[in-house]
Every structure is written in structure tokens, then in C-alpha cells.
Structure 1
């Protein structure tokens, strides 16, 4: 099992590089993954079933213990990212199915990668996970609604198909995973959880391979290439607006939106479940696989940007002695906290 954990950690570390290499390989050898086009929904269902296996009822109870931050973070995600997608489509004059693809990835729930980035940046991982759970559960309802409101100007939106596919791909697998966790218990589930990241990453690689293989030469057409700067700006705007929003909420409710929570909301807003976007594109817009291209670009880019941002944030905090649990990222707060801890030690010793 230790070898499995080591391999999982290694694969996670180099996953972005694997995505790029795999995408290039499938561009030149499309037969490698095109066979899986009819199975992308099952592949993502396996990923989300694995996510459900790691969740217990206590994870859902945590949403109830801090409902304001979780609900506000989820609402911010479903407002900021879809509206930014629409704005970018207008600015870059995108239309047709490519615009639909950009808006689709903007309407998706937050990506699981945000949990890792929040952890690496010393953010509030529990809040990050809670927002991710709630946004994922809401996805089958929010995606068709938002797509109908924001993307119907480009094409007739098959909202019924989007809803049914999202329920089958998202809600049912997650629910089954939670049920299995409840029935078998943490001890037994922990025996298989080290394998889950490997299974998830292989499934996501296959989905990306299908998108690349299905679009082939279309990827290098001018219209498709225009999606790259749009996706990059979409993600970066999500980070910026998510952080700005959490800073604003700190002024309203400083007790709940402190520095660690601001980091979590930043990643939860800016990072999307792009694998879900690609899968829904391939199932609900099967005649136009180019709809899945923005989600594929997003999948590669947000892992790169998230890693860079989390690393920068951690180094920035260390350089300015900012305590992870500071109120609002005050410089020198780590030194103040250390001095307070040292002051308590002699007092405790004296009391003994």
C-alpha cells in the first residue's frame, strides 16, 4: 500500500505534465482514446463515486455548522464564473458552440483540485471541501438553469439533457459513494482510498484524450485557439474576484471570512470541475464536440495557475511572517503569535 501511495503522490505531482503529453499524443494518434467517447459519463461517474467514498455524513454536517461561509462561497462561485464567461465571450467576440463551451465550464461547480491548492497555501481546507460538496450537489440544478439563461442566445440549450446527465453523472455516484462509506465505515474504506486518486487521474486523462481525439485539427483553428486566452483570463479573473469578494465579506463579517477562509474562497471560485464540463459537452452536445475544448484547456491551465498561486501565497506569508490563522493577513502576525505563545509558557510553568 505504501508503494501505491508513493505512486499516487508522484502522479499527482506530475499530473499537469501528463495531461499535456497525453493531449499531444492523442492529437497525433486519435485512435488511442476515441473509443472511449461513449464512456466519458461513466468515467467521470467513477471519479465522483470515489469522491463520495471519501465523504461521511459528518462532512455534510460541517456545512450546517458554518452555513453562512459555505452558502456565500457557493453563491459567489455560481455568480462570478458564469458572468465572467459571458463577459469574456463578448469581449473576444466568441459565438456559436465555442462560446457555449466557455459558458459551460463557467457554470460548472468548483474543481476538486482547489482542495489541494487550498491546503498548499495554508487555507481553510474544511471550508474549501464544504463549498465543493455544496456546489457539486447543486450542479445538476444550477448548470441547466445558468446555461438556459446565459447561453441560449447562441444555441438552443438541451437543458433537460443537461439536468438528467448531471444527475446521473454527479448526484447518483456521489450519493452511492456516501452510502458505501456509511455502510462499510471509515476503517474499511481507508483500505481503498489510496487508490482513488490514481483511478480519478487516469479517468480524467481518458476524458481529455477523447476531447482532443474528437476535435483533431479543429484545435488549431483560429476560433479554437482563441479559447486559450479566454480560459486563462477566466481562471485569473475568478481568483481575483473571489479574493476581492472574500475581502469585502471580511468587512461585513470578520469572524467568518478571515485570511484562511479568503484563500479557500479564492480557489473555490477560480477553479472549475472542468472534467464535468468536458463530459457534459460530449454527452449533451455530442454533435459538436468543440464545446468540450474550453473545458479541456481549462483543465490544463487551472492546475498550472493553482500550483503557482498556492506556492506564491505560501512563500509570501513566510517572507512577511503572516500567520495562517491571522485575521486579515496582517504582516508580522506570526511573530506576534509566537511571542504570545512564549509568554504563556512561563505562566503555565509558574502555575504548576
Structure 2
């Protein structure tokens, strides 16, 4: 194993701790991260390009084999998380740009971290990846649409800017990554092996940029409610995602078994907070406070997801529940970057 791969494995194992330490460092020394504020779209493009390089035509063929579960899971994600964001803003009386930030992270596609958590909990990773892929491909359309419907009461939503930014940093790099993998196959294995580490470093840069840009107000009275709202948003997403999957099991038990319920739980509850932070800094550049909920979400959902995945695995071991189908082999584990 090369040193870069060893570093990537170490970073994956300790990513949550590294995120916390790096966020604290850039909070105390904002000069360390503020330089990247204007380049977050580039760093997110690198992440999505790396994601694309892990995909193959087989991943798209799988969508045809399980269309119902993928469609239902994607719809659940884009209904539950945005509406939860609006509800929490109403309950906690959030308004202005902070409310826009909460709703923005709620409107984002599912985070790639969910793939890792699904794997660790022995969920259906194939379904998880498929839902994540579809929700990400739909992001350039869904994020501006949902924001215009749900957040326009707080501020004029730059839907055109959101669409173009999402198109540039999500769809184009993702398609380019898939194209490179498809055309060159094993010839780019060397690049693919280093992309996990590169992607994780890129998300750290984005987090540092957001923390640095908001260090003066990150823990002020104006943003004090952001953290508990983000925590409740994430945990409620898990809960409603699981309840929804249990309901679907009663309707179609063959397609929504135990492994699929785990996958949908993580896919609903975990957001692409890196995209949320990038869209906030690009589309709402004059109000970087919009990116604060995405930054909190990025740290918190890695913690909560790890705890839930570990609990689920121990629960299954205690009850001697057989390993779920759909778990990816070790070398195909997705990387936690969002």
C-alpha cells in the first residue's frame, strides 16, 4: 500500500476527529482557511469528480434493476429533509439568512457519508449508492426549485445562480469522472486510489473556509440555535427515514427488507453538507452566515452516523441477525466526504 493510500485510510478512520480539530483551528486562526472562500466551488468539483471516478456503467444499470426502491428513496429524501428544515425553523423561530441556511442544507442531496454508514451497519450499500447517485444528479434542478418554494419568504432566492453553481460543481464533474473511468478503466486506477484522500482534504478546505468566514459570529447569540436545530434535523431525518422504510416494508416487503431499511434511514438523514456550504458561499456570497448550518451538519452527521451504524451492527450481532445483503466488499467502500 502506497503512503498516499495509507494516509487516506488513516484519514478515513479519523475523519470526524480531524474535522473537529481543523474546524477549531480555523476558528482560532481564521487566516488559515479564509483564503479558500472564493474557491470552494473548485474543491467541491474535485470531490464530485472523485465520486464519478468510483462509478461505472454497472452502477447505472443497477438503477434499472431496482427502480422502485431508488425512486421511492430519492423522493423520501427530497420530501422529508426539506420539510423538516422548514418545520424546525418555525418551531425555533429562525428567520433571515440563518433560516435560509438551514433550509438550504435540507434541500441538498444525500451525503456520500451515508454510503460508509450503510456499509458499516451491514445495510444495502448498492441501494444506498443508487439513491445517492440519483439525488445528486437531480440536485441542479431540485435545490433551486425547493429553495424557491420553501425559503423565498425569508429572502429573494437566486435560483439561476443556484442552478448554474450546482450544474458546474455537481453534474459536470460527476459526468466527467464517470466518463474518464468508463473510457480508461484500469489505466486510471492509480488516480482512483488517491482520490479518497484528495476528496477528504477538499472537504476540510471547504469547512475551513466556512468557519474562517464566520468565525466572528459562529457562536454568537445570532447563531446560537443553529447547532441544536442541525442536530434535531439530522436525528429526525434518521427517525422519519426509518419509519418511512418500515411503512414501505408493509406495502412491498420483498423490496424494503431490513438491509434496505438501514440504507434508506441513512440516505434520508445524511446531507451533502459540502454542497450546501459551497452553494451558500457562491449564491449568497454577501451573507456567509448561510453556510453555518451546512458546516455544523458536516461535523455532526459524521458523528451521529458512526454511532448509529455501530449501534445497529452490535444490535444485529447480539440478536444473531445474519449479515445484510448488498454490503460492498472492502475495496469498494465509499469514502466519507460530505
Give the TM-score of the pair, scaled to structure 2. Answer: 0.95
- Structure 1 residues 311-320 or 216-225, which shifts more? 216-225
Q: Quick check: 1:53–1:181 contact (8 Å CA) kept in 2? A: yes
Alignment partner, residue 97 of structure 2: 97
Q: Quick check: 1:258–1:325 contact (8 Å CA) kept in 2? A: no
Q: Quick check: 2:54–2:181 contact (8 Å CA) kept in 1? A: yes
Separation of aligned partners in 1, 2:99 and 2:306: 27
Could you tell me how far 1:218 is from its partner in structure 2?
Answer: 0.4
Alignment partner, residue 150 of structure 2: 150
- Structure 1 residues 215-224 or 71-80, which shifts more? 215-224
Alignment partner, residue 206 of structure 2: 207
Give the greater-gyration-radius structure (CA): 1
Q: Quick check: 2:227–2:296 contact (8 Å CA) kept in 1? A: yes
Could you tell me which runs of 5 or more consecutive residues in structure 1 were left unpaired when the two chains were aligned. 327-352
Residues 166-205 of structure 1 aligned to structure 2 (within 5 Å): 166-185=166-185, 187-205=186-204
Could you tell me how far 1:216 is from its partner in structure 2?
Answer: 1.4
Alignment partner, residue 224 of structure 1: 223
Separation of aligned partners in 1, 2:324 and 2:216: 49
Q: Quick check: 1:23–1:212 contact (8 Å CA) kept in 2? A: yes
Secondary structure of 2:218's counterpart equals helix
Alignment partner, residue 164 of structure 1: 164
Separation of aligned partners in 1, 2:183 and 2:173: 15
What is the aligned-residue RMSD (CA, Å)? 1.0
Residues 219-298 of structure 1 aligned to structure 2 (within 5 Å): 219-298=218-297
Could you tell me how far 1:325 is from its partner in structure 2?
Answer: 3.7
Secondary structure of 1:123's counterpart equals coil
Q: For each residue in 1:152-181, what CA deviation from the matched residue of structure 2 results, as whole angstroms up to 9, or x when unmatched?
A: 000000001000100001000001001101
Q: Quick check: 1:102–1:294 contact (8 Å CA) kept in 2? A: yes
Aligned residues: 325
Secondary structure of 2:3's counterpart equals helix
Tell which has more relative contact order, 1 or 2 (C-alpha 8 A, sep 6+). 2
Separation of aligned partners in 1, 2:324 and 2:177: 33
Q: For each residue in 1:269-301, what CA deviation from the matched residue of structure 2 results, as whole angstroms up to 9, or x when unmatched?
A: 000000000000000000000000000000000
Q: For each residue in 1:184-234, what CA deviation from the matched residue of structure 2 results, as whole angstroms up to 9, or x when unmatched?
A: 01x123222221111011111110111011111101112212100000000
Q: Which contiguous aligned blocks of 4+ residues in structure 1 show a shift greater than 6 angstroms? A: none
Could you tell me how far 1:182 is from its partner in structure 2?
Answer: 1.1
Separation of aligned partners in 1, 2:196 and 2:139: 22
Matched, 1:72 2:72: yes
Matched, 1:132 2:132: yes
Q: Quick check: 2:5–2:197 contact (8 Å CA) kept in 1? A: no
Alignment partner, residue 313 of structure 1: 312
